[in-house]
């Protein structure tokens, strides 16, 4: 007879957590429960349009912790709660993932074979428009086998235009 320490399935956990996360204007991207020694590790990924700050993550963490303490969904076993935002290496699987990465470079593997790399110009519920070497190309999500943001070390984050002081001077502290 095997002893099962995890009676909570991912779907039940996500259904429990989603309304808590949504109170903060966030989306529940994933919830994963994995063994970690004698404990279990509950990893919760949250995100929202415009990004999520550390303060936002702290607020969501407190709310999730309070809700888990008040409910028996995690059972009697000890667990550790970890709440974070998805990393840049997360695959783009939903329209909102594409929308949140407009202006970023993406590598796309198509279901029909072949690859496309371009900058996301816009994203709708059905497709994204990419700038591929200066030419617009529409990629329907249904045709995407895999899509991942490409990390650009030589590109400044945020504003694409370089900033120069109005009078050309540099201020020292």
Going residue by residue through the chain (173 aa), what tens digit of pLDDT does each one get? 333 334 468 888 999 999 999 999 999 999 999 988 889 999 999 999 888 899 999 999 999 999 999 998 888 888 999 999 988 788 999 999 999 999 999 999 999 999 999 999 999 999 999 999 999 999 999 999 999 999 888 765 554 443 333 444 333 33
Domain count, the chain: 2
Nearest to 60 by CA among 19, 10, 89, 11: 19
| 173 is a domain residue | no
Q: Which domain-ending residue is among 84, 107, 137? A: 84
CATH number of the domain residue 130 falls in: 2.30.30.100
Q: Which of 51, 84, 117 is the last residue of a domain?
A: 84
Buried b (16+ CB within 10 A) or exposed e, 95-123: ebbbbbbeebbbebeeeeeeebebbbeeb
Tokens of 168: 């050309």
Same domain, 16 and 58: yes
Q: Three-state DSSP class for 39?
A: strand
28 inside domain: yes
pTM of this prediction?
A: 0.69
Q: By residue range, what is the domain housing residue 141?
A: 95-149
Residue 71 domain-assigned (yes or no): yes
User: 125 with 67, same domain?
Assistant: no
CATH classification at residue 15 = 3.30.300.70
For residues 70 and 14, membership in a common domain is answered with yes
Q: Which of 95, 97, 67 is nearest to 83 (CA)?
A: 67
Question: Of 34, 53, 84, at which residue does a domain stop?
Answer: 84
- Within this chain, do residues 53 and 30 fall inside the same structural domain, yes or no? yes
């Amino acid at each position: 007879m095997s002893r099962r320490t995890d009676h909570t399935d991912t779907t039940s956990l996500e259904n429990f957590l989603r309304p808590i996360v949504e109170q903060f204007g966030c989306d529940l991207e994933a919830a994963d429960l994995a063994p970690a020694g004698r404990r279990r590790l509950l990893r919760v990924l949250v995100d929202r349009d415009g990004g999520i700050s550390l303060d936002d993550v702290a607020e969501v963490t407190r709310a999730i912790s309070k809700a888990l303490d008040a409910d028996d969904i995690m059972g009697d076993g000890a667990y550790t709660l970890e709440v974070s935002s998805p990393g840049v290496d997360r695959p783009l699987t939903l329209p909102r993932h594409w929308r949140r990465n407009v202006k970023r470079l993406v590598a796309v593997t198509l279901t029909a074979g072949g690859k496309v790399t371009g900058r996301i110009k816009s994203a709708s519920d059905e497709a994204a428009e990419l700038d591929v070497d200066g030419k617009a190309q529409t990629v329907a999500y249904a045709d995407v086998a895999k899509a991942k943001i490409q990390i650009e070390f030589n590109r400044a984050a945020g504003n694409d235009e370089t900033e120069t002081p109005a009078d050309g001077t540099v201020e020292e502290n």
